[in-house]
Chain A
Amino acid sequence: MPETETELVRRCLEGDNSAFAGILESYQDRIYSFALRLLRDPVAAEDAAQEAFVKAFRALSSYNTALPFSSWLFRIAHNACMDALRAGSKTVSLDTEDFPDLPDRSAGVADMVADALDSERIEALLGSLSPLYSEVLLLAYREDMGPAEIARVIGAPEGTVKARLFRARELIKVKLAAVKAVDATV
């Protein structure tokens, strides 16, 4: 039976650094993918993921085992990505919420979505969103976190998380409609 995260964390705290390899193996793809989809640059994403893991290791003693390890780790990854975005002079307003004006969705948008969104298209749509929005979508649907857990990860109130989720979905629908409209005119 594989060791649980709690056991691995305990071994790390007892000075067994090799136990961290187990944590790294479990989470490296998830954290790297999360960073990649926010930063949209493989090198920057690797740097941010690496920084997140190293910081997590150094802060292991502060981890509260009553809370999920994944959200604690994603919180560190979130901070690393935000630092990277700021360092790269990419605009990520954390103080003022950037709520773009959304046009009324046409009645046909839902039909335009078709029965399935392929990975390539949704990846492109996520990439076109502000990291603030793509982040909550990824945490909610790819990492299967609830609003409360996402709020802990991004350090924002739960209401803000729900508002961002709603806006993010609406933005995707608007962008889909625009894409379909362009396709129809061609």
Chain B
Amino acid sequence: MNADKTDRLIATAIAALPYRRPSAGFSARVMAGITAGAPQFWLAGVLKGAGLIVTAWAAALAFVSARLAYANFADAAALLIQPGGLPQALNLLAARAALLLSKLAAAVSLASGFVSAAAAGLPAWYEIAAAAVVCSAAIAALSHSGRFARQGI
């Protein structure tokens, strides 16, 4: 008898071990356990959907922000090419940024009140998505207000 045969005997003996059966109430306890904390699989889909909405609105927010920056860049660039234009360009950008920020702050503050009231009890996803929508709308409105928008952009 060699080592391989011994290994085979060990393997055969282990393979022949009987399965033990848990106590009578085991299945019922497991089923009760899963029912008590049953996951709502549809919730995963809802959360994924909410995540996609938030991402989409965040992308929109980034787009309108970039568009606004681009619209104002031309004014600043026009000043920059003049001698001593750098301070003027910085002042212009600072003033517009301050004005925009104050308007945004006011708009977001007002909107957040509505959103908080409307989204109370809902997951944070909804509030974030709503905030992104409000910010995008505010920036888009401001960028088209004439003061900040440029023709043809």
Contact = CB atoms under 8 A, between A and B. Distances in A.
Interface of A: 13-15, 17, 20-21, 24-25, 28-30, 32-33, 36-37, 42, 45-46, 49-50, 53-54, 57-58, 61, 105, 109-111, 113, 115-119, 121-123, 126, 137-138, 140-142, 144, 169, 172-173
A122 B19 contact: no
A15 B40 CA distance: 8
A105 B41 CA distance: 55
Interface of B: 1-3, 5-7, 9-23, 26-27, 29-31, 33-35, 37-39, 41-42, 44
A115 B9 contact: yes
Contact of A58 (B29, B39, B42): B39
Contacts, number: 116
A113 B9 contact: yes
B73 to A, nearest CB: 47
Contacts of A140: 11, 14
A23 B18 CA distance: 20
Contacts of B38: 17, 57
B31 A172 contact: no
A54 B9 contact: no
If over half of B's interface residues share one DSSP class (helix, strand or loop), that class is named, otherwise mixed; here it is helix
A15 B42 CA distance: 8
Given A33-B20, A46-B22, A172-B10, A110 B1 contact: yes
If over half of A's interface residues share one DSSP class (helix, strand or loop), that class is named, otherwise mixed; here it is helix
Contact of B41 (A32, A50, A61, A172): A61
A119 B17 contact: yes
A24 B44 CA distance: 24
Given A28-B26, A46-B22, 12 more contacts: A20-B31, A21-B31, A24-B27, A29-B20, A49-B22, A50-B30, A57-B39, A58-B34, A121-B13, A122-B14, A137-B14, A138-B14
A29 B2 CA distance: 34
Contacts of B39: 57-58, 61
B144 to A, nearest CB: 44
Contacts of B12: 116-117, 141
B34 A142 contact: no
A115 B38 CA distance: 50
Given A24-B31, A30-B19, A110 B14 contact: no
Contact of A28 (B1, B6, B27, B41): B27
A185 B29 CA distance: 50
Q: Which of B18, B20, B41 has the most C-beta atoms of chain A within 10 angstroms of its own C-beta? A: B20
Given A13-B41, A111-B1, A142-B17, A21 B26 contact: no
